[in-house]
């Protein structure tokens, strides 16, 4: 496929027009989601207590789990990491089809964003794990598959830094991206495939109240907008750096 016929991702194209609205939407939605999580959605109940008390208009006979509030951002950042990996895989496949370095650049930036959100998922999850389960780590199926995903994404960057030749580097990186993306549905479905007593299956009928679903939805949309803005900002920076490098090489060649 010739490069002339390819429509390459570039700075100033239509996605850049969405950056400002996405930034505003990200800030508003994540703030509204945060406020809803603490002031609108009722706390979920934990262990039953010996007795019941009227709180508001509701008879409560369980411990209130404030720690569950972590979930309202934990799940959205995990979803964003999966979607970033999905886009990374799309660009990786396009790189393998065309061998155009621009797609490798896009894929690398998607993987950077994915790694950022994977780390955020781990951080928020660890806080929950430490308080609710009393440990910093558990070899529970969801945690283990997600750790594998994080290690694959870290391996992606280690691999990139160890290969100098651009086409070989891009090819290896694309294959690792596809492998990482294969782990995404496994991570997502593992709580259904291997029912775990500790990691809840949230996305199912009756798994969340409508208020919880709305709050998670808003936070997820907000985080997706934030992820998109970060991607475009990084893409613009990388393209600018690449243009500077190309200009330097041209000047050096002329000088020689």
Partner 1 sequence: MNPILADIYSTILPSAPYIIAAYALLWVALLVYVLVVFRGTKKAEAQLMLLEEAVADRAAKGE
Nearest approach in angstroms of CB 252 to partner 1 is: 11
Nearest approach in angstroms of CB 60 to partner 1 is: 6
Nearest approach in angstroms of CB 239 to partner 1 is: 9
Nearest approach in angstroms of CB 104 to partner 1 is: 18
Strand boundaries in the chain, DSSP class E: 44-55, 58-65
* Cβ proximity to partner 1, 46 vs 93, nearer residue: 46
* Cβ proximity to partner 1, 127 vs 214, nearer residue: 127
How many Å apart are CA 107 and CA 128, to the nearest integer? 31
* Cβ proximity to partner 1, 127 vs 148, nearer residue: 127
Residues binding partner 1 (CB under 8 A): 34, 46, 49-53, 55, 60, 62-67, 69-70, 73-74, 77, 116, 119-120, 123-124, 127-128, 130-131, 226, 230, 233-234, 236-237, 240-241, 243-244, 247-248, 251
* Cβ proximity to partner 1, 13 vs 241, nearer residue: 241
How many Å apart are CA 23 and CA 187, to the nearest integer? 29
- Give 55's strand partners: 58
**123 contacts 114 by C-beta, under 8 angstroms:** no
How many Å apart are CA 121 and CA 76, to the nearest integer? 9
How many Å apart are CA 134 and CA 67, to the nearest integer? 12
Nearest approach in angstroms of CB 176 to partner 1 is: 21
CA dihedral angle for residue 161, residue 163, residue 164, residue 169, rounded to 10 degrees: -100
How many Å apart are CA 187 and CA 82, to the nearest integer? 10
């Amino acid at each position: 496929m010739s490069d002339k016929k390819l429509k390459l991702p570039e700075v100033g194209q239509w996605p850049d027009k969405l950056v400002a609205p996405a930034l505003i939407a990200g800030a508003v939605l994540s703030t509204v989601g945060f406020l809803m999580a603490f002031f609108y959605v009722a706390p979920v109940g934990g262990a039953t207590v010996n007795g019941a008390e009227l709180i508001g208009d509701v008879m409560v006979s369980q411990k209130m789990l404030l720690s569950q509030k972590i979930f309202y951002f934990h799940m959205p950042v995990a979803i964003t990491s999966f979607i970033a990996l999905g886009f990374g895989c799309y660009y990786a496949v396009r790189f393998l089809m065309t061998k155009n370095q621009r797609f490798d650049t896009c894929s690398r930036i998607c993987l950077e964003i994915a790694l950022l959100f994977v780390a955020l998922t781990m951080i928020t999850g660890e806080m929950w794990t430490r308080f609710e389960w009393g440990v910093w780590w558990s070899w529970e199926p969801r945690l283990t598959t997600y750790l594998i995903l994080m290690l694959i994404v870290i391996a992606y960057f280690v691999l990139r830094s160890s290969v100098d030749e651009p086409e070989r580097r891009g090819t290896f990186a694309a294959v690792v991206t596809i492998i990482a993306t294969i782990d995404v549905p496994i991570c997502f479905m593992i709580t259904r495939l291997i029912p775990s007593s500790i990691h809840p299956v949230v996305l199912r009928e009756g798994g969340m109240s409508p208020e919880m679903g709305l709050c998670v939805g808003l936070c997820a949309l907000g985080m997706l907008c934030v992820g998109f803005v970060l991607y475009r900002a990084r893409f613009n920076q990388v393209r600018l750096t690449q243009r500077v490098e190309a200009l330097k090489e041209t000047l050096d060649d002329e000088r020689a």
